[in-house]
């Protein structure tokens, strides 16, 4: 799974046949953590919300804007492979821990809405 950002929108892809794919289909509440390396320090961005599947033209446009990774390495049919599912996270909560600190701060909704 790779996290891809398009503006303030976060996307991730996974195969439907995996445990993760089946879990998301059954319960779309997700949380992802992106590491923020800076020199010798590492921070993190923690995003929690609901996974909503994205298909077709909106998916292709968002993936291109975000510079998403080449999924053909994993899925022969690329973005249109029926086994490949891409989700946008409808963010409900975002926490930031800047690199070099141990202090997590909640980001205001305006940051991700």
- How high is the pLDDT of residue 22? 93
Does position 11 have pLDDT exceeding 80, yes or no?
A: yes
3-state secondary structure (DSSP) of residue 93: strand
Averaged pLDDT of the chain: 84
Can you give the pLDDT at residue 93?
94
Per-residue pLDDT, averaged over 15-35, amounts to 91
pLDDT band at 24, cuts 50/70/90?
Answer: very high
Contact 31, 23 (CB under 8 A): no
Is the confidence at residue 26, as pLDDT, over 90?
yes
CA–CA distances in Å: residue 46 to residues 13, 31, 35, 93 = 17, 7, 9, 8
- DSSP for 34-91, written as a single string: EEEEETTEEEEEEEEEEEEEE-HHHHHHHHHHHT---GGGT-TTGGG-TTEEEEEEEE
Residue 40 banded pLDDT, cuts 50, 70, 90 = confident
Judged on CB neighbours under 10 Å (0-12, 13-18, 19+), 38 is exposed
pLDDT digits (tens, 9 = 90+) for 47-98: 999 999 988 777 777 776 776 677 787 788 887 888 888 888 999 999 999 9
Instruction: Give 3-111's CATH code, choosing from 2.30.110.10, 2.40.128.50, 3.40.50.300, 3.30.70.20.
Output: 2.30.110.10
Give 1's pLDDT tier (boundaries 50, 70, 90). low
């Amino acid at each position: 799974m790779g996290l891809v950002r398009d503006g303030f929108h976060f996307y991730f892809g996974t195969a439907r046949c995996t445990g993760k794919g089946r879990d998301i289909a059954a319960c779309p509440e997700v949380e992802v953590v992106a590491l923020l390396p800076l020199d010798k320090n590492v921070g993190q961005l923690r995003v929690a919300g609901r996974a909503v599947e994205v298909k077709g033209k909106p998916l292709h446009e968002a993936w291109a804007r975000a510079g998403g990774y080449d999924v053909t390495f994993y899925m022969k049919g690329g973005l249109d492979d029926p086994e490949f599912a891409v989700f946008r996270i409808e963010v409900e909560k975002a926490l930031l821990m800047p690199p070099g600190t141990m202090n997590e701060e909640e980001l205001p909704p305006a940051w991700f809405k």
